[in-house]
Amino acid sequence: MSERKQHWQEVWTTKSPEAVSWHQDDPTLSLELIRAAGLRKDAAIIDVGGGASVLVDRLLERGYVHVAVLDIAEAALRQSAERLGPMGDDVTWIESDVLDWKPVPGLFDLWHDRAVFHFLRDPAEQAAYVELMRTALGPEATVIIAAFAPDGPDRCSGLPTARHDLASLSALLGAEFRLMDDRREAHVTPGGKIQNFVWCRFLRQ
Protein backbone atom coordinates (compact mmCIF):
# COMPACT_ATOMS: atom_id res chain seq x y z
CA MET A 1 0.00 0.00 0.00
CA SER A 2 1.40 3.40 -0.96
CA GLU A 3 2.05 6.03 1.68
CA ARG A 4 -0.64 8.25 0.18
CA LYS A 5 -3.23 5.47 0.15
CA GLN A 6 -2.34 4.48 3.72
CA HIS A 7 -2.77 8.08 4.88
CA TRP A 8 -6.27 8.47 3.44
CA GLN A 9 -7.42 5.01 4.46
CA GLU A 10 -6.42 5.88 8.02
CA VAL A 11 -8.30 9.19 7.84
CA TRP A 12 -11.49 7.44 6.78
CA THR A 13 -11.20 4.65 9.33
CA THR A 14 -10.58 6.99 12.29
CA LYS A 15 -12.93 9.90 11.50
CA SER A 16 -16.60 10.13 10.68
CA PRO A 17 -17.61 11.89 7.44
CA GLU A 18 -19.05 14.76 9.51
CA ALA A 19 -15.72 15.35 11.28
CA VAL A 20 -13.37 15.87 8.33
CA SER A 21 -12.57 19.50 7.47
CA TRP A 22 -13.95 19.31 3.92
CA HIS A 23 -17.36 17.97 5.00
CA GLN A 24 -20.43 19.61 3.47
CA ASP A 25 -24.00 18.95 4.51
CA ASP A 26 -25.01 19.70 0.94
CA PRO A 27 -22.78 20.27 -2.13
CA THR A 28 -24.64 23.38 -3.28
CA LEU A 29 -21.88 24.93 -5.38
CA SER A 30 -20.98 21.63 -7.04
CA LEU A 31 -24.60 21.13 -8.07
CA GLU A 32 -24.91 24.70 -9.31
CA LEU A 33 -21.88 24.36 -11.59
CA ILE A 34 -22.93 20.91 -12.81
CA ARG A 35 -26.36 22.30 -13.65
CA ALA A 36 -24.72 25.18 -15.54
CA ALA A 37 -22.95 22.62 -17.75
CA GLY A 38 -26.34 21.71 -19.25
CA LEU A 39 -25.75 17.96 -19.27
CA ARG A 40 -28.29 15.38 -20.33
CA LYS A 41 -29.40 12.99 -17.59
CA ASP A 42 -27.58 10.14 -19.32
CA ALA A 43 -24.24 12.00 -19.33
CA ALA A 44 -21.31 10.18 -17.72
CA ILE A 45 -20.12 12.01 -14.60
CA ILE A 46 -17.11 11.19 -12.43
CA ASP A 47 -16.53 12.63 -8.96
CA VAL A 48 -12.79 12.41 -8.35
CA GLY A 49 -11.98 12.07 -4.66
CA GLY A 50 -15.72 11.80 -3.99
CA GLY A 51 -15.18 9.53 -1.00
CA ALA A 52 -18.02 9.87 1.46
CA SER A 53 -19.41 13.05 -0.14
CA VAL A 54 -23.18 13.22 -0.64
CA LEU A 55 -22.76 14.66 -4.15
CA VAL A 56 -23.44 11.22 -5.61
CA ASP A 57 -26.72 11.06 -3.65
CA ARG A 58 -27.85 14.42 -4.99
CA LEU A 59 -26.94 13.52 -8.58
CA LEU A 60 -28.92 10.29 -8.40
CA GLU A 61 -31.87 12.15 -6.86
CA ARG A 62 -31.78 14.54 -9.83
CA GLY A 63 -32.01 11.70 -12.31
CA TYR A 64 -28.41 11.32 -13.51
CA VAL A 65 -27.96 7.66 -14.38
CA HIS A 66 -24.24 7.28 -15.15
CA VAL A 67 -22.31 8.39 -12.07
CA ALA A 68 -18.86 7.17 -11.01
CA VAL A 69 -17.06 7.97 -7.76
CA LEU A 70 -13.29 7.56 -7.55
CA ASP A 71 -11.40 7.63 -4.27
CA ILE A 72 -8.08 6.35 -3.00
CA ALA A 73 -9.65 5.14 0.26
CA GLU A 74 -11.81 2.02 0.23
CA ALA A 75 -13.23 3.05 3.61
CA ALA A 76 -14.63 6.29 2.16
CA LEU A 77 -16.29 4.54 -0.77
CA ARG A 78 -17.75 1.92 1.54
CA GLN A 79 -19.36 4.62 3.68
CA SER A 80 -21.05 6.12 0.61
CA ALA A 81 -22.17 2.74 -0.69
CA GLU A 82 -23.63 1.80 2.68
CA ARG A 83 -25.38 5.16 3.00
CA LEU A 84 -27.01 4.80 -0.43
CA GLY A 85 -28.01 1.17 0.00
CA PRO A 86 -29.69 -0.32 -3.11
CA MET A 87 -29.67 3.13 -4.73
CA GLY A 88 -25.88 2.79 -4.96
CA ASP A 89 -26.01 -0.38 -7.02
CA ASP A 90 -26.01 1.69 -10.21
CA VAL A 91 -22.98 3.76 -9.17
CA THR A 92 -19.52 2.83 -10.49
CA TRP A 93 -17.22 2.77 -7.45
CA ILE A 94 -13.52 3.10 -8.32
CA GLU A 95 -10.94 2.52 -5.60
CA SER A 96 -7.70 4.03 -6.91
CA ASP A 97 -5.17 6.78 -6.55
CA VAL A 98 -6.23 9.07 -9.39
CA LEU A 99 -2.67 9.01 -10.76
CA ASP A 100 -2.72 5.20 -10.98
CA TRP A 101 -6.16 4.94 -12.58
CA LYS A 102 -6.49 3.69 -16.16
CA PRO A 103 -9.72 5.22 -17.52
CA VAL A 104 -11.58 4.15 -20.62
CA PRO A 105 -10.60 6.85 -23.15
CA GLY A 106 -13.27 9.43 -23.83
CA LEU A 107 -15.83 7.88 -21.49
CA PHE A 108 -16.81 10.86 -19.31
CA ASP A 109 -18.74 14.03 -20.07
CA LEU A 110 -18.00 15.75 -16.77
CA TRP A 111 -15.06 15.62 -14.36
CA HIS A 112 -15.70 16.97 -10.84
CA ASP A 113 -12.87 17.39 -8.34
CA ARG A 114 -13.41 19.16 -5.05
CA ALA A 115 -10.21 19.21 -2.98
CA VAL A 116 -8.03 16.55 -4.63
CA PHE A 117 -5.94 18.56 -7.05
CA HIS A 118 -4.52 20.87 -4.39
CA PHE A 119 -2.82 17.89 -2.73
CA LEU A 120 -0.67 17.44 -5.86
CA ARG A 121 2.27 19.78 -5.36
CA ASP A 122 4.84 18.17 -7.68
CA PRO A 123 4.60 19.67 -11.21
CA ALA A 124 5.11 16.19 -12.67
CA GLU A 125 2.11 14.87 -10.72
CA GLN A 126 0.02 17.87 -11.74
CA ALA A 127 0.88 17.26 -15.40
CA ALA A 128 0.11 13.54 -15.05
CA TYR A 129 -3.29 14.37 -13.52
CA VAL A 130 -4.19 16.69 -16.40
CA GLU A 131 -3.09 14.15 -19.00
CA LEU A 132 -5.15 11.42 -17.35
CA MET A 133 -8.13 13.80 -17.22
CA ARG A 134 -7.74 14.48 -20.96
CA THR A 135 -7.76 10.76 -21.62
CA ALA A 136 -10.88 10.15 -19.52
CA LEU A 137 -12.95 12.96 -21.07
CA GLY A 138 -14.79 13.08 -24.35
CA PRO A 139 -15.00 16.06 -26.72
CA GLU A 140 -16.77 19.16 -25.37
CA ALA A 141 -16.60 17.71 -21.85
CA THR A 142 -16.83 19.83 -18.71
CA VAL A 143 -14.24 20.05 -15.94
CA ILE A 144 -15.10 21.42 -12.50
CA ILE A 145 -12.18 21.86 -10.11
CA ALA A 146 -12.25 23.33 -6.62
CA ALA A 147 -8.87 23.94 -4.98
CA PHE A 148 -7.51 26.04 -2.15
CA ALA A 149 -7.25 29.68 -3.16
CA PRO A 150 -4.04 31.73 -2.70
CA ASP A 151 -5.34 32.78 0.72
CA GLY A 152 -6.47 29.26 1.56
CA PRO A 153 -4.72 26.77 3.87
CA ASP A 154 -1.20 25.62 3.06
CA ARG A 155 -1.87 22.36 4.91
CA CYS A 156 -4.88 20.06 5.21
CA SER A 157 -5.32 16.70 6.91
CA GLY A 158 -1.67 16.88 7.97
CA LEU A 159 -0.43 17.27 4.39
CA PRO A 160 1.00 20.30 2.57
CA THR A 161 -1.14 21.72 -0.23
CA ALA A 162 -0.67 23.74 -3.41
CA ARG A 163 -2.83 26.87 -3.68
CA HIS A 164 -4.27 28.05 -6.96
CA ASP A 165 -6.01 30.91 -8.71
CA LEU A 166 -7.78 31.18 -12.06
CA ALA A 167 -4.54 31.81 -13.90
CA SER A 168 -2.66 28.84 -12.45
CA LEU A 169 -5.51 26.38 -13.04
CA SER A 170 -6.06 27.67 -16.58
CA ALA A 171 -2.35 27.39 -17.34
CA LEU A 172 -2.15 23.84 -16.01
CA LEU A 173 -5.16 22.65 -18.03
CA GLY A 174 -3.96 24.42 -21.17
CA ALA A 175 -5.66 26.13 -24.09
CA GLU A 176 -7.73 23.03 -24.84
CA PHE A 177 -9.95 23.92 -21.87
CA ARG A 178 -11.78 27.26 -21.86
CA LEU A 179 -12.75 28.86 -18.56
CA MET A 180 -16.53 29.27 -18.49
CA ASP A 181 -17.24 30.17 -14.88
CA ASP A 182 -15.41 30.82 -11.63
CA ARG A 183 -16.41 31.30 -8.03
CA ARG A 184 -14.89 31.98 -4.63
CA GLU A 185 -16.02 30.00 -1.61
CA ALA A 186 -15.33 30.52 2.08
CA HIS A 187 -15.89 26.97 3.29
CA VAL A 188 -16.60 26.68 7.02
CA THR A 189 -15.15 23.47 8.46
CA PRO A 190 -16.96 21.46 11.15
CA GLY A 191 -14.50 23.04 13.59
CA GLY A 192 -15.56 26.55 12.56
CA LYS A 193 -12.44 27.48 10.56
CA ILE A 194 -12.59 29.21 7.17
CA GLN A 195 -10.99 27.56 4.13
CA ASN A 196 -10.97 29.73 1.01
CA PHE A 197 -11.51 27.86 -2.26
CA VAL A 198 -11.41 28.85 -5.90
CA TRP A 199 -13.85 27.03 -8.19
CA CYS A 200 -13.50 26.84 -11.97
CA ARG A 201 -15.71 25.35 -14.66
CA PHE A 202 -13.93 24.62 -17.94
CA LEU A 203 -15.24 23.44 -21.29
CA ARG A 204 -13.10 21.27 -23.52
CA GLN A 205 -12.76 22.84 -26.95
Q: pLDDT tens digits for the chain (205 residues)?
A: 688 888 888 887 887 878 787 788 899 999 999 999 999 999 999 999 999 999 999 999 999 999 999 999 999 999 999 999 999 999 999 999 999 999 999 999 999 999 999 999 999 999 999 999 999 999 999 999 999 999 999 999 999 999 999 999 999 999 999 999 999 999 999 889 999 999 999 999 9
Backbone angles phi, psi at 64, to 5 degrees: -75, 135
pTM over 0.85: yes
> What is the rounded CA–CA span in Å between residue 167 and residue 151?
15
Domains delineated in the chain: 3-13+27-204 (3.40.50.150)
**136 closest CA partner among 110, 104, 99:** 104
Name the H helices within 89-139.
Answer: 123-136
> What is the rounded CA–CA span in Å between residue 191 and residue 194?
9
166-173 and 123-136 helices, crossing angle to 10°: 60
What is the predicted pLDDT for the residue at 66?
98
Radius of gyration for the alpha carbons in the chain, expressed in angstroms and rounded: 16
* Helix H or strand E segment including 3: helix 3-14
Contact yes or no for 204/196 (Cβ under 8 A): no
What is the predicted pLDDT for the residue at 140?
97
Contact yes or no for 120/159 (Cβ under 8 A): no
Contacts of 179 (CB under 8 A, 6+ apart): 166, 170, 200, 201, 202
